[in-house]
Amino acid sequence: MFEDLKPHLEDLRKRLVISTLTIGVAFCVCFGFWEVIFDWVAFPIQSALKNESIRAHLATLTVLEGVFVALKVAFFGSLVIAMPVIFWQFWLFVAPGLYKHEKKNSPAFCGICKHDVFLWCGVCVLCSATCCGGECLAFWKWEV
């Protein structure tokens, strides 16, 4: 009974291992640059807090909060970087079980996998241009 399921479980294990290793490698890379990523993510709030009418700043409240911030920034950055591989592994696992007419309806999913890097770049530029009135573009040394 379970012999029929064994090849599927082996394939699932292979896909999960590849996805996990991709996240791990991306985490190591992102952890090396966590301060740069954090500065980029926190730039809008820090530029808003420079307003003289607001007396506030970002602060760590506990001893380990700085470590956890570094780990969280690196982990979520690695998820963003590894998403194309994760989606592709998901597709490689699911696609053999689909009928031909079901596979015809999936180019949008494959298109997201291939072009999400350009999507995220566009979203970042658009958000930085609109969220803080163009002040965020100064982070990239662009003129508005």
Q: Which has the closest alpha carbon to 110: 88, 86, 94?
A: 88
Number of domains, the chain: 1
User: Tell me, what's the pLDDT at 59?
Assistant: 84
Q: Which two tokens stand for residue 89?
A: 């592994």
User: What parts of the chain have a pLDDT lower than 50?
Assistant: 142-144
User: Tell me, what's the pLDDT at 28?
Assistant: 96
Residue 1 lies in a domain: no
Distance between CA atoms of residues 9 and 96, nearest Å: 14
Q: What is the pTM of this model?
A: 0.71
User: Tell me, what's the pLDDT at 26?
Assistant: 95
**Would you give the end-to-end CA distance of the chain in angstroms?**
65
User: Tell me, what's the pLDDT at 137?
Assistant: 54
Domain that holds residue 59: 6-140
Residue 36 lies in a domain: yes
User: Tell me, what's the pLDDT at 142?
Assistant: 46
Q: Which has the closest alpha carbon to 96: 2, 14, 1?
A: 14
